[in-house]
Amino acid sequence: MQVLDRVKINQEISDLKKTYGDDRSALLPILQELQEKYGYLPNLVMQETAHALGIHPVEVESVASFYSFFRRKEKQGKYVLRLCQTISCDLSGKAKVARQLENELGIKFGETTKDGMFTLEYTNCLGMCDQGPALLINDRLFARVTPEKVPQIIADCRRDFIKSEFPKVVPSDVRKSGPILSHDLKPGEGLKAALKNTRSGVIGLIRESGLKGRGGAGFPTAVKWQLAGAAQSAKKFVVCNADEGEPGTFKDRYLLFNHTEMIFDGMTIAAYAIGADKGFVYLRGEYLYLKKHLQEILEKRRQNNLLGENILGKEGFNFDIEIRMGSGAYVCGEETALIESLEGYRGEPRNRPPFPVDTGFQNHPTIVNNVETFLDAALICVKGAKWFNEHGTEKSSGTKLFSVSGDCEKPGIYELPFGITIEQLLKEVKGENAKAVQIGGASGRCVARKDFNRTIAFEDISSGGSIIVFGPQVDMLEVAINFMEFFVEESCGQCTPCREGNVKLLEGLKLLEEGRCSASYLNELMRLAETIQLASKCGLGQSSPNAFVSIIENFKSEILGRVPEKA
């Protein structure tokens, strides 16, 4: 049993406060570091953290219980093995790998081995959908894991070889580059071009380009920047949403490692445009292995005066960026939940209005943009609005990065113009045989063959970039169950339609699986789905039944006509 030393814990907290500050927003990073040290969050550690930050211990307990990466009771193993349970990894053989892991370690998922070496857990999307099944061991990723590879991986952990022998970053398959991915800009070039312009000139250029947020919602970037720029406040913030958690999406992981400088250029340009002096990258906990790389690039930029004070000689233009880690909560991809998390609270979405451009981080005007949006903005500042919007459609300008996984011959990252039809996309990825495609991840919609002439664009089917291809053999009911399990797990629980409604939809799908759901009950569930879409507070709840509805609509006869296994 671990003996805890109150004096030592207090010293550690006081050291961490020097790095993260002493206000509430330091809570998550301090807890993350202390968990790393102690293997879990003992009560004494949480109590002392609460005292040190001047908050009630119950508040700390409440925050720790919200995020799936925090462990409050059982000490986790020296190696925490997190196997991805998202649909793409399911399709590539996750179940067999799971059984092999359990056999090899002699424990079930959710347990820790008696020797304290291994903890086995499921996790949602690891951003390796094109190379599944994916396994995260502490901060190290393993792609294309097979049952045969499991014994060797475990043996390497036991010998502590894992630290030296495996690369942390698994290379991505970029199958098609376009104007964005094949840019030839040097670090700072986007920022230098922007600084030759006025602040309003930069926003004007972004408006002219037609750039819309690449996270999926498609809000015009220039409008967001304009509103935050016009807001009166002594402090403003720029936040890069790198909480890429939508099942089936992995292009931000690639961008964060390979186009880091341009993403930071984009953030710094945004800061210049709105008058911010502080930025955050909110990086999902599953991408911890990218943190060191990002910090190294930030340090280089400070040395080159691309960050810091009077940036590139521009008197009074001061800006710096800090990396903050998520802790395993999909809902934090929603911008107000992300801000709550940054402030040290449970990642529960806020009521809107007020919007973050007025009342964001610590009640100051804040813009939150996706990784890809910042990259695009930096390139537009050098290459111009026309260069950008000569691709795409009138309402969806530019090219878009897609993460393609599932039943196709060429999964990977594709840069394609908005307005491409699903049929054209399937030809590119060699998935013409598909019976359905999930566009936009779990919160997107499932499109069947008859609609493959539809286009991917904000005015037709919008997408943050996740494309999952389902071949003729895929059981669509199992797909729907996988997505609903995801939402039941990830709902923050704040509002009833999302918290309770999704559980009911999942129960209905299980009844269908057992052949015990009548057509009339299914109709009732469809009405419930509509209520969830209309009455939920945030985008997560509003979009959570999308997959359910579109799968039932498109595959009703397949689903109702199936013979239950035990019948």
Shortest distance (Å) from residue 494 CB to ligand SF4: 4
Q: For residues 188 and 441, which CB has a smaller minimum distance to ligand SF4 in the complex?
A: 441
Say if residues 99 and 87 touch (Cβ distance below 8 Å). no
Query: SS3 string of 466-512?
Result: EEEEECCCCCHHHHHHHHHHHHHHHCCCCCHHHHHHHHHHHHHHHHH
Nearer to ligand SF4 (CB atom), residue 177 or residue 542: 542
In angstroms, what is the minimal distance from the CB of 25 to ligand SF4? 21
Q: Which residues pair with 368 in a beta bridge?
A: 239
**Closer of 171 and 493 to ligand SF4 (Cβ):** 493
Q: How far is the CB of 350 from ligand SF4 (least distance, A)?
A: 9
Using the minimum distance from each CB to ligand SF4, give the nearer residue, 87 or 332: 332
Q: Residue 400 has which token pair?
A: 């878009």
Q: CB of residue 282 vs ligand SF4: minimum separation in angstroms?
A: 17
Output the CA angle 444-489-481, nearest 5 degrees.
55
Largest CA distance in the chain: 76
Residue 491 Cβ vs ligand SF4, minimum distance, rounded to whole Å: 4
Q: How far is the CB of 89 from ligand SF4 (least distance, A)?
A: 23
The backbone torsions φ and ψ at residue 92, rounded to the nearest 5 degrees and listed phi first, read -100, 15
- Closest C-alpha among 95, 117, 96 to residue 106: 117
- Could you say which DSSP state residue 86 is in? S
DSSP H stretches of helix in 108-165: 150-158, 162-165
Decide whether 206 or 498 has the Cβ nearer to ligand SF4. Answer: 498
Q: In angstroms, what is the minimal distance from the CB of 495 to ligand SF4?
A: 3
Least distance between ligand SF4 and beta carbon 278 (Å): 27
Give the containing element (helix H, strand E) for 224.
Answer: helix 221-230
- Of the two residues 337 and 385, which places its CB atom closer to ligand SF4 in the complex? 337
Nearest CB to ligand SF4, comparing residues 97 and 495:
495
Grouping H, G, I as helix, E, B as strand and the rest as coil, residue 19 is helix
- C-alpha to C-alpha distance for 170 and 376, rounded to whole angstroms: 24
CB of 63 to ligand SF4, least distance (A): 16
Q: How far is the CB of 35 from ligand SF4 (least distance, A)?
A: 24
- Nearer Cβ to ligand SF4 (536/550): 536
Considering the complex, what minimum distance in angstroms separates the CB of residue 503 from ligand SF4? 11
Closer of 325 and 498 to ligand SF4 (Cβ): 498
Secondary structure (H, E, C), 257-294: HHCHHHHHHHHHHHHHHHCCCEEEEEECHHHHHHHHHH
Work out how close the CB of 133 gets to ligand SF4 at its nearest, in angstroms, rounded to a whole number: 27
Taken in order 453, 458, 460, 465, is the CA torsion positive or negative?
positive
Triad 398, 400, 405: Cα angle to 5°: 165
Q: Which helix (H) or strand (E) holds 122?
A: strand 118-123
Cis peptide before 354 (omega within 30 of 0): yes
Spatial contact of 206 and 229, defined as CB atoms under 8 Å apart: no
Residue nearest to ligand SF4 (CB): 541
Residue 82 or 537: which CB sits closer to ligand SF4? 537
Q: Residue 61 carries which DSSP code?
A: H
Residue 39 or 501 with smaller CB distance to ligand SF4: 501
Residue type present at position 551: I
Q: Does a cis peptide bond (omega within 30 degrees of 0) precede residue 42?
A: no
Q: Which residue number, 499 or 510, has a Cβ lying nearer to ligand SF4? A: 499
Q: Which residues bind ligand SF4 (CB under 6 A)?
A: 331, 349, 491-495, 498-499, 536-538, 540-541
∠ CA 513-518-524, rounded to 5°:
105
Q: Sign of the C-alpha dihedral, residues 344, 346, 348, 353?
A: negative
The minimum distance between CB 245 and ligand SF4, in angstroms, equals 13
- The DSSP annotation for 338-379 comes to HHHHHTTS--PPPPSSSPTTTS-GGGS-EEEEEHHHHHHHHH
First CA to last CA across the chain, in angstroms? 50
Nearer to ligand SF4, 331 or 551 (CB): 331
